[in-house]
Amino acid sequence: MNKSSLTVEQALPPGQFLLESFPRFGLLAYAKRLPRLADLADVGEGTAIRVYGAGLPPFFLDDGVAGLARVEQLSDFHCVTTWSQTGLQWSGVRFSDVYEKLVLPNTAAVPRYQFVVIYGLDGYRSILPLDDLLAADVLLADRLHGEPLGLAHGAPLRLVAPAHYGYKSVKHICAIEFLEGCEQYRPVGYRFMAHPRARVQAEERGLGLPGTVFRWLYRPLIRFVIRRFAKASA
């Protein structure tokens, strides 16, 4: 187990405040879209996470992931709506290891991938530049604080990308698609809500408005969204 990255940022990023709990959170349309237990069992057996892309014969993440080095990492989670949770202990494998050891060997030629779309069993998806996903702190995580992920936080496998707002970290992963361009990609929700990178330190909360404006648009919704998700999960 690699514990070299067990550090936590002490200061919160611009516009963020510390929330005492770590709630299930997201677009309201997904509050009741919990994956079926049968779907989770399939993914847990390594049979349902499909990996594909241009020039990449489709394959499924299975026992190959078990052969990758596991990483234990402390990192902070920053929601685009301005709340943060610090000191989360994730465990999983680095996305960069999946790419370099499982994806690249399966490509027939040198790939020209620029973006990656990650899909969840709840119908959610997000896109990030491949270069961002290859950062050392980006994980495909299956454990939180030493315990298997619960349904609320993305069981059985989720993305953890600490440098990006939480809406980029897809839960309940079922597919990973590698793209050479992003022209055909359509975000979930309203387009202005989905920044292509959503970097926390740059306060890339959305499109068309400064991050400081998005703070005041989103913050009044936090308590309401938490209650709705809690009710849907009860």
Question: pLDDT by residue (tens digit) across 189-228?
Answer: 888 888 999 999 999 999 999 999 999 999 999 999 999 9
**Per-residue confidence at 43, pLDDT binned at 50, 70, 90?**
low
Give strand pairing partners of 78. Answer: 84
As a three-state string, the secondary structure of the chain is CECCCECCCCCCCCCCEECCCCCCCCCHHHCCCCCCHHHHHHHHCCCCCEEEECCEEEEECCHHHHCCCEEEEEEEEECCCCEEEEEEEEEEEEHHHHHHHHHHHHCCCCCCCCEEEEEECCCCEEEEEHHHHCCCCCEEEEEECCEECCHHHCCCCEEECCCECHHHCCCCEEEEEEECCCCCCCCCCCHHHCCCCCECCCCCCCCCCCHHHHHHHHHHHHHHHHHHHHHHHC
Q: In whole angstroms, give the CA distance from residue 231 to residue 74.
A: 29
Is 109 exposed, middle or buried (CB count within 10 Å of its CB: 0-12, 13-18, 19+)? exposed
Give the per-residue pLDDT at 175. Answer: 96
- pTM reported for the whole predicted model: 0.89
Question: pLDDT by residue (tens digit) across 150-202?
Answer: 888 998 899 999 999 999 999 999 999 999 988 888 888 888 888 999 999 99
What CA–CA distances, in Å, run from 230 to 20, 23, 104? 15, 8, 41
Phi-psi region of 49 (alpha: psi -120 to 50; beta: other; left: phi over 0): beta
Is 20 exposed, middle or buried (CB count within 10 Å of its CB: 0-12, 13-18, 19+)? exposed
| Architecture field, domain 17-225 | Alpha-Beta Complex (3.90)
Contact 12, 18 (CB under 8 A): yes
**Per-residue confidence at 6, pLDDT binned at 50, 70, 90?**
very low
Question: pLDDT by residue (tens digit) across 60-70?
Answer: 887 567 789 99
The residue with greater pLDDT, 111 or 43, is 111
Write down the domain spans for the chain: 17-225
Give the per-residue pLDDT at 116. Answer: 97
